[in-house]
Amino acid sequence: MNSPKKPQLHEDWIDPYALRIVKNLQDSGFETYLVGGCVRDLMVGIHPKDFDIATSAHPNQVRKKVPNAYVIGRRFKLVLVKRGDQQFEVATFRRNVSAEEQAAQPEEDAVEGDNYFGTVEEDAKRRDFTANAVFYDPANHKLIDFCGGIQDIEDRVLRMIGDPKERFIEDPIRILRAIRLSHKLHFSIESTMRHAIAECSPELKKSVLPRRREEWLKFMRLQEPHLAFMELFDLHILEQILPGLHSVFMDPVKMEIFELHVARMNQVGINKADPLELFAAFMFSFMKAQYGEDTWNHEAVHDDPKLAYFMREEMGIFKQEASVFFKALHLMTSLRKIENYARKGERRQMAFVANEAFGLALKLSMIDFSLSAPEVHYWVQQIERFSGGKSSPTH
């Protein structure tokens, strides 16, 4: 249904490329909207990072009508439209299909994967949360809402479309998404869904690590990630899929150390677009809590099998990311020895500052205040000295 209310959203934040793609498909006779997180964010006053588009056009029709469009995926075919260094996802309206309908399909005519196309209403009702199921027509300035998402956004409530327990069993990652979105948007979680989260948390063990890794990165990009991890602990989710962190939260002193360090990520300029820096800041906070605030035996820490398991099997940290992180830990000790550095020749000084882990080591040192303000300023000057005056990685 079209909302009778005048849309209250930041239209000036809509990406002009996304707007042109929508209008291009509409001019070709296809029903086309912005949908999902971008519409939700526009309505709550958050500048969207991505703009997803939903249309009645099939993937190959989109490819023919929109320049620089490429069909991708097998299980779920959609179109990526490239504009410079940006890309936009254009998906055809989908519908849910019953087991009986699938069984009745002749094998040679079977539709592959999730490519059962439908109407905009059917597409809305197969999405996860009501707040993510609002469509917006930017050409005609209309909101389309079949699931009560507009009211839930106004009430700042996160509500599941359909039975929460069934939807969590269908895809356990929705549990993590629900908690993350509630913190990002400052929404309350609807009570039935909250009970289902607690009941279904063991289902997360069935989820695959790469998808959990992506969720952990999104958790760390929150403004206050430590509060979201605390809620994961309260809902007994950490013990299911992050038992290493659960053990930290079981000890009030360790929990406080972890939270204090994670809370400083924003202050020291951790690049939230870089998974390496996010994981490094998180792991440094974890290790400060687990091993204590004093100087560690770096060789013992590097060879700790429990730590290696936590990084690899629970967090999904890649080997290369772990390697740079441990280099940064090693460099942190050298950052406190400015006199030794000053005695080196210029070539060796340049090599030290150019080390791939140098900038990260400086940021981690700022997280735990192991360097004084004058020492931090000295290293920033060294970066600028050897980078020809370019901005430092801490800014």
Tens-binned pLDDT, residue by residue, of the chain (395 aa): 555 454 567 788 999 999 999 999 999 999 999 999 999 999 999 999 899 999 999 999 999 999 889 999 877 789 999 988 889 999 999 988 765 655 555 454 444 556 688 999 999 999 999 999 999 999 999 999 999 999 999 999 999 999 999 999 999 999 999 999 999 999 999 999 999 999 999 999 999 999 999 999 999 999 999 999 999 999 999 999 999 999 999 999 999 999 999 999 989 999 999 999 999 999 999 999 998 866 666 677 778 899 999 999 999 999 999 999 999 999 999 999 999 999 999 999 999 999 999 999 999 999 999 999 999 999 999 999 988 755 555 54
The two structure tokens encoding residue 352: 């030290």
- CATH, residue 185: 1.10.110.30
Domain assignment present for residue 349? The answer is: yes
The two structure tokens encoding residue 137: 């027509």
Residue 3 has a pLDDT of: 53
Domain edge (last residue) among 87, 121, 155: 155
Domain assignment present for residue 363? The answer is: yes
CA atoms of 50 and 41, how far apart (whole Å): 10
Domain assignment present for residue 95? The answer is: yes
Domain edge (last residue) among 155, 184, 200: 155
Q: How far is CA 54 from CA 13, 30, 90, 91, 308, in A?
A: 19, 10, 6, 5, 42
Residue 105 has a pLDDT of: 54
CA atoms of 84 and 76, how far apart (whole Å): 25
Q: The pTM is what?
A: 0.88
Residue 9 has a pLDDT of: 77
Number of domains in the chain: 3
Task: Spell out a b/e string for 54-77, using b for 16 or more CB atoms within 10 Å of the CB, else e.
Answer: bbbbbbebbbebbeebeeeeeeeb
Report the catalytic residues: 50, 52, 128
Domain edge (last residue) among 108, 125, 155: 155
Domain that holds residue 182: 169-263
Q: Are residues 46 and 149 in the same domain?
A: yes
- CATH, residue 71: 3.30.460.10
